[in-house]
Structure 1
Amino acid sequence: MGFLGKKGIIVAVVVVLIGLFFVFDLHHFLTLAELKTRQEAFHQFYLANRLVTLGTYFLLYIVVTALSLPGATVMTLAGGALFGFWSALIVVSFASTIGATLAFLVSRFLLRDWVQGKFGERLKSLNDGIAKEGGFYLFTLRLVPLFPFFVINLVMGLTPMRTWTYYWVSQIGMLAGTAVYVNAGTQLGQIESLGGILSPGLLFSFVLLGVFPLLARKGVDIVQKSRTLKQFVKPKSFDYNIVVLGAGSAGLVSSYIAAAVKSKVALIERDKMGGDCLNTGCVPSKALIRSAKILNYGRRASEFGLRRTDINFDFSEVMERVQQVVTKVEPHDSVERYTDLGVDCIKGEARITSPYTVEVNGRTLTTRNIIVATGATPFVPPIPGLDQVDYLTSDNLWQLRELPKRLVVLGGGPIGCEMTQAFARFGAQVTQVEMAPHIMGREDADVAEFVRERFVTEGVQVLTSHAAKEVVVRGEDKLLVCEHQGERVEIPFDQLLVAVGRRARVAGFGLEDLGVRLNDRGTVDVDPFMRTNIPNIFCAGDVTGPYQFTHTAAHHAWYAAVNALFGDVKKFRVDYRVIPWCTFTDPEVARVGLNEADARAQGIPYEVTRFELEELDRAIAEEETHGWVKVLTVPGKDKILGVTIVGTHAGDLIAEYILAMKHGLGLNKILGTIHPYPTLAEANKMTAGEWKRAHAPEKLLAWVEKYHTWRRGCTGGGSKPVNPC
């Protein structure tokens, strides 16, 4: 008999057995009600036929488990009620493990080769993990069932785990949980009246059922933590509760929270307090964008009824003003402020030498926990010849004091777009180069095209689908060579700004020596509690991602600090459900949740409601009618799936939708909220009104119209009454 023939027979047997189970309504017997009804009869039969009863029960339990049929839990309770604790525990323990192993083998025989052949590359990391520590993973799942046991049986059969390993780990792992359920069954068996429901033994059994998963999970955490840390020497006492590496957004917030709850915390920064956001990112870029916007308002004077407005400026003075803004914000992130809060601020190069020790300036600090908040650095692609020119990045851009005559911006993401528009408004001849078909690749095509057209109107040359190949220097001339549709394109420049993304700072301070794992994105891999694979080393911010935003770094920091300090009592999973962001072009582009491209890619059905800002009174008064609000909702419902706003102050307007999505408020709630007039925020209410009009109850309104016609004393009803009033 061929291999496929054997598979066919097994499938047929399984299908027939499952079919018979439901055709003959056998699941009716595997309920608590049926158990209590027939308890006495079963008990009497058991007393007269002990071995037959135990053997039949044993085989039936194996079949139910092997076929993944419903009723194993009730059978466990029944075993405790009929056989007593020890007999039931032994029988159920072996029967459940044998049945689970049979389900494991059937899944392996029927599906493993096909699954591994089709998805082998995607499953490589899983297979490697199973090969390395599969037994521990399985033991964890058996103790703390994140998934139903029948799912574990079937899925594990698709992995390379050895059958014997699967059997004995399941036997041991399920024993504690089996004991809890068998004990509950013995207590159920003793109920003779309603009053018995309140018996201490039964109440204790139900308490065990409730708390066992929590206790088991805690036990697993303790075992896993001790296994990981046993190779390191743990100090008898600690200098700090937390040592934080990096004084950017994530590091500052982590330190602030730790100090606020009276723990002892050290914050180590090798360069400047405030990190990239204050010194080279959010703060200076927004200051530069504001100056460029004011300059552009001058050019738009006629739109505001002004004949002419000339604005003279010196670019070096503009850049000095940017630094003044940074200086004004600095006290918020200063050593003095954080020292006053109770944080030990240390300037120096830190190195993590163990999960308990950090070296800095020749000192060794001992700590119970470490938070890595080292941020990210501009990614510079390996373009041949790039090292021949003094290229710019978001790090050194702020040292400029002379406006480049010809600026090439490499990259169409948020940083590239913001700087493209700002420098163009100051008068630079800007060429933006993006290898993808659109700039702003994370946004919908209508948004990307709108921003591109705005750039072109302002004199920017936007080159999409252009892949940078090399930088060539010919005497005084500097050229960026690109490939576009198979042709060579040469773009001359005086300055080149590289803005193609950021790379996490993960090396050079000890993580690699400790074996801290990275993920496929090159960032530090963390669990939902912001822990690395070393359980007392946490991460927050750009160094772990997946969202490299200042506000997300602060969001991470709360979870990292709280879980580091209080995780032995209660841990909190990081919440990524509602993550907003904004690109500060003019007009701004703000987004939260899904856009249309994401929804289509994920196969999520949606409706679109769109409100044009040209219909908004305040936007008209301010000559800021360019843009729109676009809301995605569940079809037929007002539940918000995502929002994109294009327009002036979009980053501020999006806040109402962030709050709504966070707390499950729909468009009807926004429509029912008073918004001051005339404000830009009314756009949110107007959008909700557009949704409401599109979902008006037309049939009900037709009857309402007839009612109003009748109330006026007219006859006939509808739009043409017989006796019009």
Structure 2
Amino acid sequence: MIYDYDILFLGGGLNYAGAVTAAKAGLRTALVEKKMVHLGGTCLHNGCIPSKMYLHAAETVLASRKNHFTGKIELDMAKLDTEKETMLSMATGAITKQCSDVELIDGEGVLIAPYTVKVADRTVTAKHIVIGTGSSAFIPEGVDYDGEDVISSDDVLNMKELPEKIAVYGAGAIGLEMASFFAAAGVETELIWRHDRLLRKAHPTISKHLMKQFENLGVTLMGYQTVKTAKKTKRGVHIVFGDGKEHYVPKLLVATGRRANTDAVQTEEVKVGKKGIETDVHFETTLRDHYAVGDCNGKIQLAHAARAEVLYVVRRILGKQREAIRMENIVKFIHTLPSSYAYVGKIRSQLEDGDVTYHESSVPLGGLPYPHINDADLGLMAVYGDEENFIIGAEIFAPHAEELVAIVAMAIAGEMDATLAKRTILAHPTFSESLEKSFMRL
């Protein structure tokens, strides 16, 4: 069969990284994106990039509340939004330039048959097809979403002004990050979630200290609550909880997770499961030469995971990579203020559930001068070693935890044991020196 392309990427999120790599390697490459101004995907336009920008701004507001500052700083959301749009436009332009050797096909693509994608009235074929259609915000049944008073994560990052009060429903990454943002920015904030504590699978001390951190920010914690219905009224958003109690709030952010976008798959040869498009360890679907990467395969909803997956697929097609990605060794994190939570490898709850023999070395940050300066007295470093004391994981609760955990990620990738890790001398005063101490105590 003669194909139009050697490889076609369906979806223009982090898929673009694979397309650029494939084109540079000499493959005839196409990328289909239904909204070309959205090239770069949700992370860039409606997710991790703008949310981190917002959190960075709110962190300044939070820091200004310290006693040694006078006056009051207020966040101008309209100006922040303008700055965000300028940044996103610049980033999209840079990505488009990177794709100069890729044929960009503007339109909604659908996989209608093996090796065949339809875009509007055009049908194209490719020897390899990589599906990277991402995910969408999940709105539970009973919640009357309107995009104004009842909003999703897509809407919250396009606000032109701060609300006086907001309730956040959901305690996943989006819910916790946005609750941190609003509270730090001075908005009266409520956090509603279904369970008794936050980050139930995290180290118990971290879970407890995260709740304390939210209390210190002034967040009203409303655990053990399920929203049965939520609807806009003249009085505000009317919430009815699962136990029948009623509650009103001016604005409700629904952050109850994201669902894989799988509508682009319109052929039975590619199996779609409850979590997303089913793949093997090499991200190949049930149809040979067809792959699914990123959020749409339901494995890990993280931009850097999507990027790693699509690059792995392309390198494998090119015959340059054989060893499968170890998904547990991908860094995961949630950005909250002032301390964030990050982990990599095996964590305590997984080790306990698996009845695995392990060593734990935990170093609290409370009472140490540098963490105190950075409002990280609730922080904790926890590193885990196996029976032979090879480093197998870590959990970190500290400012910029997502950066600090990279040290452990490298240690795991390099198959370091505690003896080797102890040779590293890290700088003082830093947060990393507490991680050094964790290695020393293993």
Range of TM-score over shorter length: over 0.9
Question: What pairs up with 1:15-26 in 2 under 5 angstroms?
Answer: none
Amino acid at match of 2:168: V
| 8 Å contact kept, 1:563–1:572 | no
Question: What pairs up with 1:291-370 in 2 under 5 angstroms?
Answer: 291-300=57-66, 302=67, 306-333=68-95, 335-339=96-100, 342-370=101-129
Return the offset for 1:369: 0.9
Distance 1:664 1:403 in 2: 47
| 8 Å contact kept, 2:139–2:145 | no
User: What secondary structure is seen at the aligned counterpart in 2 of 1:512?
Assistant: coil
1:629 to 381, 391, 409: 381
**Do residues 672 (structure 1) and 423 (structure 2) align?**
yes
| 8 Å contact kept, 2:133–2:262 | yes
Distance 1:679 1:385 in 2: 47
Question: What pairs up with 1:58-457 in 2 under 5 angstroms?
Answer: 235=1, 237-249=2-14, 251-271=15-35, 272-300=38-66, 302=67, 306-333=68-95, 335-339=96-100, 342-383=101-142, 385-386=144-145, 390-457=149-216
Aligned partner of 1:585 in structure 2 is 336
**Do residues 526 (structure 1) and 290 (structure 2) align?**
no
| 8 Å contact kept, 1:386–1:470 | no
**Do residues 653 (structure 1) and 404 (structure 2) align?**
yes
| 8 Å contact kept, 1:414–1:440 | no
Return the offset for 1:600: 1.4
Return the offset for 1:327: 3.1
Deviation by residue 1:222-281 (Cα, 9 ceiling, x = unmatched): xxxxxxxxxxxxx3x2221101011111x1121122112111110111111011010000
Q: Count the aligned residue pairs.
A: 439
| 8 Å contact kept, 1:530–1:538 | yes
Distance 2:117 2:88 in 1: 30
**Do residues 514 (structure 1) and 268 (structure 2) align?**
yes
Return the offset for 1:671: 1.4
Return the offset for 1:355: 1.7
Distance 1:449 1:649 in 2: 19
Distance 1:356 1:474, change over 3 A: closer
Structure 1: runs of 5+ lacking an equivalent: 1-234, 692-725
User: What secondary structure is seen at the aligned counterpart in 2 of 1:514?
Assistant: coil
Distance 2:342 2:147 in 1: 37
Amino acid at match of 2:33: E
Aligned partner of 1:574 in structure 2 is 325
User: What secondary structure is seen at the aligned counterpart in 1 of 2:327?
Assistant: coil
Amino acid at match of 2:362: R
Question: What pairs up with 1:460-539 in 2 under 5 angstroms?
Answer: 460-483=219-242, 487-507=243-263, 509=264, 511-521=265-275, 523-539=276-292
User: What secondary structure is seen at the aligned counterpart in 2 of 1:299?
Assistant: coil
User: What secondary structure is seen at the aligned counterpart in 2 of 1:516?
Assistant: coil
Return the offset for 1:389: 6.9
Aligned partner of 2:389 in structure 1 is 638
Distance 1:546 1:362, change over 3 A: same
Distance 1:285 1:380 in 2: 20
**Do residues 547 (structure 1) and 311 (structure 2) align?**
no
Return the offset for 1:574: 3.4
Distance 1:325 1:559 in 2: 29
Distance 1:600 1:572, change over 3 A: closer
Distance 1:382 1:356 in 2: 36
User: What secondary structure is seen at the aligned counterpart in 2 of 1:585?
Assistant: coil
Return the offset for 1:684: 1.8
Q: TM-score, normalised by structure 2?
A: 0.93
Flag the structure with higher strand content: 2
Deviation by residue 1:97-138 (Cα, 9 ceiling, x = unmatched): xxxxxxxxxxxxxxxxxxxxxxxxxxxxxxxxxxxxxxxxxx
| 8 Å contact kept, 2:237–2:252 | no
Return the offset for 1:518: 1.8
Aligned partner of 1:606 in structure 2 is 358
| 8 Å contact kept, 1:616–1:683 | no
Structure 2: runs of 5+ lacking an equivalent: none
Deviation by residue 1:187-223 (Cα, 9 ceiling, x = unmatched): xxxxxxxxxxxxxxxxxxxxxxxxxxxxxxxxxxxxx
Distance 1:296 1:527, change over 3 A: same
User: What secondary structure is seen at the aligned counterpart in 1 of 2:351?
Assistant: helix
Distance 1:630 1:356, change over 3 A: same
Deviation by residue 1:506-562 (Cα, 9 ceiling, x = unmatched): 01x2x23333112342x1001122111110211111110311111111111122223
- Between 619-628 and 411-420, report the one with greater CA deviation: 619-628
Amino acid at match of 1:247: G
- Between 556-565 and 323-332, report the one with greater CA deviation: 323-332
Aligned partner of 1:619 in structure 2 is 371
Q: CA RMSD in A?
A: 2.1
Deviation by residue 1:285-319 (Cα, 9 ceiling, x = unmatched): 0000000000000002x2xxx25242144232233
Distance 2:333 2:112 in 1: 38
Aligned partner of 1:23 in structure 2 is none
Q: Percent identity?
A: 24
Return the offset for 1:461: 0.8
